[in-house]
Structure 1
């Protein structure tokens, strides 16, 4: 019997879910599509404070029975808070936010999904997403956590302005987030006109600000440098007092700004001198190169004149000396011939060298072509490398997307498993209740059967009693008639015997008592069935 009762119950679950979805859709159609509303401005909080990220459904919508998500894309895992049916899923939360995030459970039925973060840190800075999967709506909240490592401003003497007769002060402060503003104030709290604020952002994302101001003697000697962050109402300031005697000393000291034009003029003068020196040196070199061809022509002219003088001298010499000179001239001609041969060989060698040079040039051209080809191949390889890197990046992005989708599927799987477990628990509890109800029903049926059996036995006994009573009732009329006859006879005798009436009445009294005794059982017999029937 329990199996027959449990059979239709799972089949009714899809109907129940379909009815629930229909009710939700009908509510959306009647009330309009809900929207998630977040803040329009950046939220700024100080480190160590508690902050609330506002997010609510408009119009009001009960979200106490559905899944809610608060995420930050820069985290891994990215979940800051996840709940289903007002129960938080701690397993999916990022470890850095454990025990620090919560929602207002009592206000979920009014559509308030605001997230409370306790004891915020500088690492909590970022953009948070409020998401309701059933509605497929999302809202973004940007949080900035101001640093508590900001240092007090440091004022130092930067220089002396002789033209204005004042001193230049510099103020610097570090460890700020977000970017602050720097102000100069005099002793009366009035703003001083200062130079532009220089801002530097370090590798730890903290800002360092600095600024300069020229303080003249006409100003108040009390100067204040204030660095403040308006969004967090955080400020640091430093005071300094400039003595009046210091302004008198500055009038006799050289100006810092006067030295810069002098140094610039010296640099320009040195540059001009170096250029002039290089030009003159180049001109001398050109003059030397132009003189070399003239010297060669003069040498040729000198050699021809020497030959003429030598011939005239030979004509004046005697015959022996002429022969010697001829021999000498012959040797000289032979030497010149050998020299010519050597020159020819030299020319051949030069031609060969030129050919070799040409071949070298050709080889160099070939090498250049090979280098071009190599550069082209290298460029192609570089392009292929870039394409491979792009493909690698695409694969990494796809892998990241796949990992995100896998994590999302795992999250959905965990949520579905939790839903299935809750449904199983509900089914098991319903099954136990139905089994218990079946047992109770069986017990009631057995009790009813027992009562029916007892009632039937009682009815049987009552029938038997009734039959006996009816038999007794049927016997009673005969006895009463005999009594009547006896009574009549006794009355007649009494009438005939008036003297003994008292005795006769005394005699008649037992008959009356007997008659009463006979009537009492009849009443009891007649009364018993009525009581038994009523009891039954």
Structure 2
């Protein structure tokens, strides 16, 4: 889950407040003798939208301002008055309409010469220069009010591309903020210039995106800040290793899958060609032996061979089903890909062993045929040349059997 961090803590706010009042206190101690002066902060006052703010203005030396006329105004407005106090009464008819019901003086501090203005529920339109003026003394002071707004950024992962792209967006800022990307060690990440848009409400929306790669921590932070209002917001995200399935990994998985499929096809083709050639050879051998007057395989032998072949086919089908199931899992993750490689090697060894066994059966049958041929040759030495021709045919069959055996051996 993203972790939100408020850039200006309570401790920081307290420090700013203490600093502000320290400046005012120093100014109060540096007054000249004689006529009272209006003093206030030298730096702009910062107020956040929706909060209340006090614009300091103080007579020095202190003098009772209860019966004085106190004017607060903004020179850029018409009418310019924000708050007017005359003979202890507030004159609303002179105020600019947007300040109605939102301004007041600190009545319990007027007797001490404090004519500060309290402005409630600050709006963006309140930003500007304010003039504190006492006509009877012909004294005035200008205060700059900066209105700020900040919000925490929102991080999302873009899954529409092969790379891992992080999007960051933060709405509702004023003034215009800055945006940075940081890695888990706090180093800046290279990213394009952020896009900043100002909405109809006068607030800014800033957004940016960055392409990231797998790192030691896999932690990334989007930080948005505005130094003028001393505000910082950031959001952190931690990515799992599985998110980083880049193109190279996908290609490796595809290559592995392709090789496994090719190997499967080769094994199936060799297997069926082998059985087709074996059945054909057995048929030819039976015909030749019958022509020589020899008795072919008994019914019991044929049944046994049939059961053996059926068992081998069933075993192969089981292996093929198992391999197909494992191929479907190859694209899940890298660990599955590694396991598939190991299983593929094991399957290849099993097929070799199966082929070795079937070749052994073929070789035994060839030996059996060779024995029968020898026996036939002995019996036919005194026979006619017709018999000799049949013996040659059996020899040819044996030769073909040996050729098949050699061919299978070359395949593996």
* TM-score relative to the length of structure 1: 0.36
Higher RCO structure, 1 or 2 (CA under 8 Å, sep 6+): 2
* TM-score relative to the length of structure 2: 0.46
Q: Which has the higher strand share?
A: 2
